[in-house]
Amino acid sequence: MEVKEVEMPELTVLGMRKKGRYDAIGAMIPQVCGYAVAKGVALAGPPAFVCHEMTPEEATKANADGTADLEVVVPVSKKTRGKGEFKCYTLPGGKMARIVHEGAYKDVGGAYMKLFEWVGQNGKKVSGPIREVYPNEPGKVPEEKLLTEIYAPIG
């Protein structure tokens, strides 16, 4: 696992946001994808989780309290109208630090530690919500082959 600096494009995404624990993300993804399909909007990339807690300490506390700010999005081919808890908007791009974790989602903590260590060592600051992108799916690959791409906007 190594951290790389990358440039991410902005994306049109469809998503939903609620409060809870991080283990709810897995159930939110099919809801968002199902809504897009029901609206006839083509998916344009893998689903992602947008983490609004800005530090590992905030994330740990919010998860323990059940108050984590959970947002799941999926890139879509065109702007569509959201309804109720579903919103469509442009997710900003820009300069990001990227690390890829391979293995169970529950074991992603080491990748985050390495990412935050790299950010500090390189004189950078996390400047916005971190994203986890899930390029492959549980059930289609073994747990030890699951990939989680973690992107942190940096400035």
Tens digit of each residue's pLDDT, the chain (155 residues)? 799 999 999 999 999 999 999 999 999 999 999 999 999 999 999 999 999 998 888 999 999 999 999 999 999 998 988 889 999 999 999 999 999 999 999 999 999 999 999 999 999 999 999 999 999 988 899 999 999 999 999 98
Distance between CA atoms of residues 110 and 107, nearest Å:
7
Nearest to 153 by CA among 106, 96, 88, 86: 96
Residues 6+ apart with CB under 8 A from 53: 59, 62, 68, 69
CATH number of 4-153: 3.20.80.10
Distance between CA atoms of residues 15 and 31, nearest Å:
9
Check residue 27 and report its DSSP letter: H
Domain ranges of the chain: 4-153
